[in-house]
Amino acid sequence: MTISSSLHAGVSGLAANAARLASISDNIANSGTHGYKRLNTDFESMVINQARGTGVYASGGVRTVTTRLVDQKGGLVPSSHSLDIAVSGRGMLPMIPSVYLDGGLGGGLGSQPMMMTPTGSFRPDDNGVLKTESGLVLLGWPALADGTIPLNARDSVAGLQPVVLSHHQTSGDPTTRIQLGINLPAGATRPGAAGLPEVTAVEYFGNLGAPESLQVTFTPVASTGALPSNSWRMEIRDSAMDPASNLVGSYELVFDDGQAFGGTLRSVTVLSGGAYDAATGELALAVQGGPIAVTIGRLGDPNGLTQLESGFAPTNIARNGSPVGNFSTVEIDEHGMLRVTYDTGFTRTIAQIPLVDVPNLNGLIARDSQTYQVSAESGSFYLWDAGDGPTGAVVGYARENSTTDVAHELTDLIQTQRAYSSNAKVIQTVDEMLQETTNIKR
């Protein structure tokens, strides 16, 4: 029995070192594979309990435990493409093989389990779907029309959808805010002044991207006494409307001429049109291209409309929005926000890529193409915003290297070869001993 157990121990040693050789072979073969996580094969002894003092021992042999070290991070290497994506720290990118898409692009995951990968090189296919060369589709939470991300469940894949670029090839950005920083000449409201109006035009972009303009006219109110009136009538007209009825706002502006707040607004009276919000200094205008908030400044604020001893000066006129533009570039930021930039300079957020994390990364089930699936040993997944909780930042223009250290693997290879030869020698020795036992009968 003892000799036979030695034979079994030698055989188990051969099998164990063969398994270790297989893991070393995989590691070396994937030393240049982006996102590859190396395998580690550990040996565990097998002990067959024997009664004390019997003077008999039976060898149990050895068995192997092979673990993929998913929690190890490879170094990041730069690339020249914005959709080469890696994660600096903990967390993985959610995805699904394209063959598993249920119900087309808008059908989400359906009944298929989500997969994850530490890095990927994504490109749009003929439908604009971002996927790798191996057919892995990037998943994310689609943004609303205004670029905000709606509230989504963090422990469910229900809100995740394939990220598609083709729907965003052309886009416009309507104007929603205008800043009027204009100085009106104080001398125009003095007794005997000519009272000539001052006119300026401010371009804006409507809901469909068409350029229009607001014509703003400032007419000084004539003084009726010996002192200046410090008052102006402001009228705002919309070029997109019928000239006979294009007045969208009329206001009486009174400026302060005191020492403390001289030249700033003292009061704003609405004659017609949108209301004035004294807390924000904004006029709520309803123009043809949609509602616009026009900032003229709070009362006493020197950064809005002013009346000083100087000429008419539209020194700080600004607005948001842009005309219709064509797709130019797409990039992802450290928070996982995927943004498209158009040739007009307008940038729109189209999706957020969350990072997937599980309690035990090494318990994930490994699949092809450096992808992983949740298992009972890994624990349930959670979708984090990049940079929140335990997760790191999303990095564009980068890939994660393999975690294989070739020098270390070659060292293990030499040790494995020697151990395999030694176990083969044990089997040879046992064979010779069994032969001697057989010869006793002769």
Asked if residues 35 and 400 have their Cβ atoms less than 8 Å apart, the reply is yes
The pLDDT of residue 392 is 95
The pLDDT of residue 118 is 96
290 CB-contact burial (10 Å; exposed 0-12 / middle 13-18 / buried 19+)? middle
The pLDDT of residue 279 is 95
The pLDDT of residue 1 is 54
Within the chain, which residue ranges are assigned CATH 2.60.98.20?
173-324
Mean pLDDT by 10 residues, the chain (442 residues): 77 91 94 94 81 70 90 94 95 89 55 87 91 93 90 90 80 89 94 91 89 95 90 96 93 94 95 95 92 95 92 92 86 95 87 96 93 94 94 96 95 93 89 83 67
The pLDDT of residue 51 is 62
Architecture per CATH, domain 173-324, reads as Sandwich (2.60)
**263 dihedral zone (left: phi>0; alpha: psi -120 to 50; beta):** left
The pLDDT of residue 9 is 85
The pLDDT of residue 427 is 86
The pLDDT of residue 146 is 81
The pLDDT of residue 298 is 95
The pLDDT of residue 158 is 86
